[in-house]
Structure 1
Amino acid sequence: MDHAIALLATCLPFVTLSYIIVCLASPWGRCTRCRDSRRSRTCRACDGTGKRPRLGWQLYTHVRRLYRDR
Protein backbone atom coordinates (compact mmCIF):
# COMPACT_ATOMS: atom_id res chain seq x y z
CA MET A 1 0.00 0.00 0.00
CA ASP A 2 2.86 2.36 0.76
CA HIS A 3 4.30 1.83 -2.71
CA ALA A 4 1.01 2.74 -4.36
CA ILE A 5 0.72 5.95 -2.35
CA ALA A 6 4.32 6.89 -3.13
CA LEU A 7 3.75 6.21 -6.82
CA LEU A 8 0.59 8.30 -6.81
CA ALA A 9 2.34 11.15 -4.99
CA THR A 10 5.12 11.23 -7.58
CA CYS A 11 2.82 10.96 -10.62
CA LEU A 12 0.16 13.46 -9.54
CA PRO A 13 2.25 16.64 -10.10
CA PHE A 14 3.31 15.39 -13.55
CA VAL A 15 -0.26 14.62 -14.61
CA THR A 16 -1.51 17.96 -13.26
CA LEU A 17 1.21 19.93 -15.02
CA SER A 18 0.58 18.04 -18.25
CA TYR A 19 -3.14 18.87 -18.12
CA ILE A 20 -2.39 22.54 -17.47
CA ILE A 21 -0.10 22.64 -20.50
CA VAL A 22 -2.76 20.97 -22.67
CA CYS A 23 -5.39 23.47 -21.51
CA LEU A 24 -3.13 26.43 -22.24
CA ALA A 25 -2.06 25.09 -25.64
CA SER A 26 -5.51 24.00 -26.77
CA PRO A 27 -8.33 25.35 -24.57
CA TRP A 28 -11.09 23.91 -26.79
CA GLY A 29 -12.15 20.27 -26.64
CA ARG A 30 -14.84 18.24 -28.35
CA CYS A 31 -18.39 18.66 -27.11
CA THR A 32 -19.38 15.60 -25.11
CA ARG A 33 -23.11 16.11 -25.62
CA CYS A 34 -23.26 16.12 -29.40
CA ARG A 35 -20.09 14.40 -30.53
CA ASP A 36 -20.54 13.16 -34.07
CA SER A 37 -24.33 13.10 -33.92
CA ARG A 38 -26.98 14.55 -36.18
CA ARG A 39 -28.18 16.97 -33.53
CA SER A 40 -24.90 18.88 -33.36
CA ARG A 41 -26.48 21.94 -34.97
CA THR A 42 -29.06 22.24 -32.20
CA CYS A 43 -26.76 21.51 -29.26
CA ARG A 44 -27.17 24.16 -26.57
CA ALA A 45 -23.91 23.25 -24.84
CA CYS A 46 -21.67 24.25 -27.75
CA ASP A 47 -24.06 26.36 -29.89
CA GLY A 48 -23.64 23.90 -32.73
CA THR A 49 -19.89 24.34 -33.11
CA GLY A 50 -18.88 20.96 -31.69
CA LYS A 51 -16.24 22.63 -29.49
CA ARG A 52 -16.44 23.45 -25.79
CA PRO A 53 -13.87 24.95 -23.43
CA ARG A 54 -12.04 22.38 -21.33
CA LEU A 55 -12.71 22.26 -17.59
CA GLY A 56 -9.17 23.44 -16.81
CA TRP A 57 -9.61 26.45 -19.08
CA GLN A 58 -12.94 27.30 -17.43
CA LEU A 59 -11.30 27.19 -13.99
CA TYR A 60 -8.41 29.33 -15.21
CA THR A 61 -10.70 32.03 -16.60
CA HIS A 62 -12.86 31.97 -13.46
CA VAL A 63 -9.84 32.49 -11.18
CA ARG A 64 -8.48 35.18 -13.52
CA ARG A 65 -11.80 37.07 -13.40
CA LEU A 66 -11.93 36.80 -9.60
CA TYR A 67 -8.44 38.24 -9.35
CA ARG A 68 -9.19 41.01 -11.84
CA ASP A 69 -12.47 42.05 -10.17
CA ARG A 70 -10.94 42.42 -6.70
Structure 2
Amino acid sequence: MATVIALLAACLPFITLSYIIICLAWPWSRCTRCRPGGKNRTCRACNGTGKRPRLGWQIYVYARRLHRDGNH
Protein backbone atom coordinates (compact mmCIF):
# COMPACT_ATOMS: atom_id res chain seq x y z
CA MET A 1 0.00 0.00 0.00
CA ALA A 2 2.86 2.37 0.77
CA THR A 3 4.33 1.88 -2.71
CA VAL A 4 1.02 2.82 -4.33
CA ILE A 5 0.83 5.99 -2.25
CA ALA A 6 4.44 6.85 -3.08
CA LEU A 7 3.77 6.28 -6.79
CA LEU A 8 0.69 8.51 -6.69
CA ALA A 9 2.63 11.20 -4.83
CA ALA A 10 5.38 11.04 -7.44
CA CYS A 11 2.89 11.33 -10.34
CA LEU A 12 0.79 14.14 -8.86
CA PRO A 13 3.10 17.04 -9.91
CA PHE A 14 3.29 15.69 -13.48
CA ILE A 15 -0.49 15.37 -13.74
CA THR A 16 -1.04 18.83 -12.27
CA LEU A 17 1.48 20.46 -14.58
CA SER A 18 -0.03 18.67 -17.58
CA TYR A 19 -3.52 19.93 -16.71
CA ILE A 20 -2.23 23.49 -16.30
CA ILE A 21 -0.58 23.32 -19.73
CA ILE A 22 -3.79 21.95 -21.28
CA CYS A 23 -5.86 24.73 -19.70
CA LEU A 24 -3.51 27.39 -21.01
CA ALA A 25 -3.30 25.90 -24.50
CA TRP A 26 -6.99 24.93 -24.89
CA PRO A 27 -9.11 26.81 -22.37
CA TRP A 28 -12.39 25.72 -23.97
CA SER A 29 -13.93 22.24 -23.81
CA ARG A 30 -17.20 20.77 -25.01
CA CYS A 31 -20.32 21.62 -23.07
CA THR A 32 -21.30 18.61 -20.98
CA ARG A 33 -24.98 19.46 -21.28
CA CYS A 34 -24.91 19.73 -25.09
CA ARG A 35 -22.43 16.93 -25.81
CA PRO A 36 -24.79 14.15 -26.95
CA GLY A 37 -26.53 16.21 -29.62
CA GLY A 38 -23.91 18.78 -30.49
CA LYS A 39 -24.88 22.42 -30.31
CA ASN A 40 -28.11 23.13 -28.50
CA ARG A 41 -29.24 26.66 -29.22
CA THR A 42 -31.25 26.84 -25.99
CA CYS A 43 -28.49 25.65 -23.64
CA ARG A 44 -28.04 28.13 -20.79
CA ALA A 45 -24.70 26.66 -19.72
CA CYS A 46 -22.85 27.58 -22.93
CA ASN A 47 -25.27 30.08 -24.54
CA GLY A 48 -25.69 27.78 -27.52
CA THR A 49 -22.03 27.75 -28.57
CA GLY A 50 -21.32 24.16 -27.51
CA LYS A 51 -18.13 25.23 -25.69
CA ARG A 52 -17.52 26.00 -22.02
CA PRO A 53 -14.37 27.12 -20.22
CA ARG A 54 -12.47 24.40 -18.36
CA LEU A 55 -12.51 24.43 -14.56
CA GLY A 56 -8.78 25.13 -14.44
CA TRP A 57 -9.23 28.12 -16.75
CA GLN A 58 -12.07 29.47 -14.60
CA ILE A 59 -9.85 29.24 -11.51
CA TYR A 60 -6.99 30.96 -13.35
CA VAL A 61 -9.24 33.83 -14.50
CA TYR A 62 -10.68 34.21 -10.99
CA ALA A 63 -7.21 34.38 -9.43
CA ARG A 64 -6.01 36.84 -12.09
CA ARG A 65 -9.01 39.13 -11.51
CA LEU A 66 -8.58 38.90 -7.74
CA HIS A 67 -4.93 39.89 -8.09
CA ARG A 68 -5.73 42.72 -10.50
CA ASP A 69 -8.52 44.13 -8.32
CA GLY A 70 -6.34 43.95 -5.24
CA ASN A 71 -3.44 45.82 -6.83
CA HIS A 72 -5.32 48.66 -8.54
> What is the TM-score with the length of structure 1 in the denominator?
0.94
The number of residues matched between the two structures is 70
Q: Cα RMSD over matched residues?
A: 1.3
User: Residues 17-49 of structure 1, C-alpha deviation per residue, up to 9 Å, x if partnerless?
Assistant: 000000000000000011142771100000000
Deviation at 1:55, TM superposition (A): 0.2
Q: Which residue of 2 aligns with 1:69?
A: 69
> What is the TM-score with the length of structure 2 in the denominator?
0.92
Unmatched 5+ stretches in structure 1:
none
User: Residues 34-70 of structure 1, C-alpha deviation per residue, up to 9 Å, x if partnerless?
Assistant: 1142771100000000000000000000000000011
Give the counterpart letter for 1:6 in structure 2: A
Structure 1 runs of 4+ with >4 Å offset: none
1:17 aligns with 2:17: yes
Q: Percent of aligned pairs with the same residue? A: 71
1:38-53 superposed matches below 5 A: 40-53=40-53
In structure 1, C-alpha distance between the alignment counterparts of 2:49 and 2:58, rounded to whole Å:
17
Give the counterpart letter for 1:57 in structure 2: W
Unmatched 5+ stretches in structure 2:
none
